[in-house]
Amino acid sequence: MFYKWEITYKVIGCAMNVHKELWCGFQEVIYQRALALEFRKIWLKFERERTMEVMYKWAKIGTRRVDFLVDEDIMVELKATTKIEEVNKAQLINYIEAYGVKIWLLINFWKKELEYYRFIK
């Protein structure tokens, strides 16, 4: 788990680089594209717009796309909004359970300083 913790620092560092360069005010997709470039620059293994299955007991009941899946089991969700609401955090906690991942990062580029949350199961 320590190894994964270090990767979250790298992801956040990449997000800080993007925020420093672009600052706030763009749509989420612009930050997503720039973050992918930063990940490639440091050879971070990732998938962009990864489709994940949502299961209910034994049945697949839908899908959802996560902005990034890093190192096969760290989910990264990007936002470009004036405020992260409690509902956004609760949603991510539910995703942790639904997808069986251990770590999820929520990163908001909209503010003057990068806002991020790390959720660990």
Question: Among the residues of the chain, which ranges form H helices?
Answer: 2-22, 28-41, 86-99
The tokens of 30 are what? Answer: 């612009």
What count of Cα atoms within 13 Å lies in the side-chain half-sphere of residue 66? 27
- For residue 109, is pLDDT > 70? yes
- For residue 108, is pLDDT > 90? yes
Report pLDDT digits (tens) over 72-93: 889 999 999 998 888 888 877 7
Give the SS3 label for residue 120. strand
Report pLDDT digits (tens) over 24-81: 999 999 999 999 999 999 999 999 998 888 888 889 998 888 999 999 889 999 999 9
For the domain covering 2-120, report its CATH number: 3.40.960
What count of Cα atoms within 13 Å lies in the side-chain half-sphere of residue 4? 18
Extents of the domains making up the chain: 2-120
